[in-house]
Amino acid sequence: MGITKVSKMEQFFFSGSQTSKVDPKNRFTLPQKMRYGLVENGRLEFIIGLGLGGCLAIYRRSDIQKIVQKFQEKQHIAKYQKFFTLFFSTLHHTSCDSIGRVIIPNHLKQAIGIKKELVIAGVLNKIEIWPKELYDRNLSNLLQGKDTELDLAKMTEEAFALLDESKDAED
């Protein structure tokens, strides 16, 4: 099975989620479909770093290059220095072994509190890696309306309003 180029009308994005176990060598198996989405120029190489809200994020190499270009424009602004230091110093360039296992650097595993299980979640242009307990708690709180910062109805409304904004910009 090969990878086909996706037209601009049919842009690739990551989606779905899966639970995985972390082995004693800090490895987990990345789902095959997600691995395919990370292949660029015939190479399966990607970057793992800190994500938002207590997760790790896996980025394509080309997406990191876009981030670097944007951040370089702001690198001398003092209020961003701590963020840049933490973000870039925790980026780990890596790949998978022949059966799709990825090593999580120990400092990143400890930083977000991964124990034995994690959730791999496809989120648009990145893959998020969550400690299973935190992912399950966040999902449960969101669905039950227990998290005052996470109002599902409001977030859904605001996210879909973004679609209207982009449509207005095209007109």
What are 3-19's pLDDT values in tens digits?
445 545 468 899 999 99
Asked whether residue 38 is domain-assigned, the answer is yes
More confident: 96 or 10: 96
CATH of the domain at 89: 3.40.1550.20
Asked whether residue 152 is domain-assigned, the answer is no
Q: Which residues contact 50 (CB under 8 A, 6 or more apart)?
A: 56, 57, 86, 87, 90, 108, 111, 112
State how many domains the chain has: 1
144 and 46 Cβ atoms separated by less than 8 Å: no
Asked whether residue 37 is domain-assigned, the answer is yes
Tell me the two tokens of residue 55.
């997760």
What are 25-39's pLDDT values in tens digits?
999 999 999 999 999
Q: Which residues contact 73 (CB under 8 A, 6 or more apart)?
A: none
DSSP alpha helix (H) spans, the chain:
32-38, 61-72, 81-89, 106-112, 132-144, 152-170
Q: Which amino acid is at 50?
A: L
Asked whether residue 151 is domain-assigned, the answer is no
pTM metric for this prediction: 0.82
